[in-house]
Chain A
């Protein structure tokens, strides 16, 4: 006998747990199924931890304006995990940037977001940047956010979470989706939310009896470097933007900075519908990682060598020596990128209603503060 729920949510990242809390509060019985042994072990944790205000999208005003709106709400709702006591500097590189200082200023004005001119020479070596701006952007601490949700959901009898789950198949049966796991458990619900980010297409592929509209994405195996900032860098975040540059900024409330670089953070790329990588060879058998089921890259024995020499050299080329930092740790995660978003630089949160009655919703978003986009899909 399958256990009956109102909603089954696959993936215990922020989107999954937000959805669970949202529905649980409304008295619905929710089941969260997670592959890893704990929530927030992948992309929710392993990213720049940026609460996007929109500065990242100087070539897509609509994305920027939308980000700015959600920014306020997110900061209000999740203030406990937000670190905002630092100067977030955005700079435009003199060479190779798709956006120059004047264009960036105009863009901020149009999007109505803070942008105060700062002295370039305070942060950067001569001749590297043509503009630097103090902006309003924060960072969130994924571990604090996780504890908040574990606490909140733990006290809600409507919500049940299962970890270490291996889904065998999902079958559409009449008005229900029936989910079977490798362990032989089965669950049923008229609503499934697929919030598995990099595995979104893999989960869609597991569904029987539903038309499969896979997201058009490519996959990048990404590395975020955590480093210990010098005294001068501690309360500063620096992003040289829109081109083959880098970002070094506080990583939540950990006291560490994350270092990423557009060119060096992605290590390997797959253009297939589901992620296919040479590092998966030999891992399939152990139930680890394959094009049908991604493992956790951060815990994988095959993770690539750190690109620290590259990223640090790139940052050092720009930054004045007093903004020093030392290597602590590398974090790896798989990042799906919607193919349509490259030219205009927009990063839409894609939410697809793949079937109704029973309902199957897939969400794909690389931004934490657009989580509110889910509301309208969860309401019915």
Chain B
């Protein structure tokens, strides 16, 4: 606590970037800015705000511009306009790519259910020796989210475990590391968790859990992303096909035993039945074995294809002051 007070009195000199995802969240934006900006103002000497406008159709962008104008914000505010709706992950990749800070805060949404001090806590943990620190609500999760994380962590190829995150801070070193790992980042959390640098999580008591649970704006997109993530980062499909192949292998072996048993016991099934069954069992085994190989092959190709720039930006606009 003492350290916190001390730090607050002496503003941090590190340059901070805030990357904020905006998609039709007009009614929440003012509260977010009102909560977050004064906090950064009092704790950091210099920071910039990069807002990613993922094809907002409501007045979100206007609210932002008006806010900057009204409050005569000293800090630089840039808006990255996505060409069309491209979803959270692509948009935030674009925002992170343009941010210039030593440390980058990623706000995947602007629902504030935490005390502003949490913003400082993640920073504190970061400079204590971590490269990525997330803030995570202790509150209840949606059932589907719980399922997702539990299944994901069981099947993920990497060591890093992921969980629900409200916002996070990442160091420039982590950004560089991620960049060198490959160009396309379909699911940041998974890439961050597996970049090999130290990560940490700050758990906080949610002030109002419903605000996040109730917001379904991006829910359908998240479902697709969840499915995609399983394909990109876990071996669920490979395992599933291996299991299926295994089952059929067992079945084939059982069939073999049955055929051998039949042959020696002189029971007389219909003419040709034994050879037909033997052939079929073997054939199906071959098909499923092949499918396993093809699936593996596809996943490699998938990785190759996605190593391209995957977002389209229509404009980077600086919010101007008069």
Contacts and interface: CB of A to CB of B under 8 A. Distances in A.
Nearest to A278: B322
A320 interface: no
A270 interface: yes
B309 A95 contact: yes
A313 B102 contact: yes
B10 to A, nearest CB: 17
Contact of A95 (B97, B100, B172, B318): B97
Contact of A314 (B74, B100, B322): B100
- Best-buried of A95, A127, A268, A314 by chain B (most CB within 10 Å): A95
A269 B322 contact: yes
25 contacts: A95-B309, A96-B97, A126-B180, A127-B179, A127-B180, A243-B316, A244-B78, A244-B98, A263-B316, A263-B318, A266-B320, A267-B321, A268-B320, A268-B322, A270-B322, A276-B322, A277-B322, A305-B74, A309-B45, A309-B46, A310-B76, A310-B100, A313-B100, A314-B100, A317-B100
Chain A contact residues (Cβ within 8 angstroms of B): what range? Answer: 20 to 34
A127 B176 contact: yes
B101 A313 contact: yes
A269 B45 CA distance: 24
A61 interface: no
Given A95-B97, A127-B176, A309-B45, 12 more contacts: A95-B94, A96-B97, A126-B176, A126-B179, A243-B316, A264-B76, A266-B320, A267-B321, A268-B321, A270-B322, A278-B321, A310-B76
A259 to B, nearest CB: 13
Contacts of A277: 322
A125 interface: yes
Interface in B47-84: 48, 74, 76, 78
Contacts of A243: 316
A307 interface: yes
A277 B321 CA distance: 9
A339 to B, nearest CB: 14
Given A96-B97, A125-B176, A278-B322, A307 B313 contact: no
A277 B101 CA distance: 29
Contact of A269 (B309, B313, B320): B320
B97 A263 contact: no
Interface string A302-342: 00010101100110010000000000000000000000000
Give 4 closest A-B pairs by Cβ, nearest first: A269-B320, A309-B46, A127-B179, A313-B100
Interface of B: 15, 45-46, 48, 74, 76, 78, 94, 97-98, 100-102, 172, 176, 179-180, 309, 313, 316, 318, 320-322
A129 to B, nearest CB: 12
A317 B101 CA distance: 8
Contacts of B322: 268-270, 276-278
B46 to A, nearest CB: 4
A269 B319 CA distance: 10
Contacts of A244: 78, 98, 316
Contacts of A127: 176, 179-180
Contacts of A267: 321
- Residue of B74, B100, B172, B322 ringed by the most chain A CB atoms within 10 A: B100
A310 B48 contact: yes
A270 B321 CA distance: 8
Given A125-B176, A127-B176, A95 B98 contact: yes
Nearest to B172: A317
A269 B321 contact: yes
A69 B113 CA distance: 61
A268 B72 CA distance: 11
A263 B78 contact: yes
A96 B318 CA distance: 14
A44 to B, nearest CB: 25
A277 B72 CA distance: 13
Interface string A108-129: 0000000000000000011100
B180 to A, nearest CB: 6
A309 B75 CA distance: 11
Nearest to B72: A278
Nearest to B313: A96
B316 A96 contact: yes
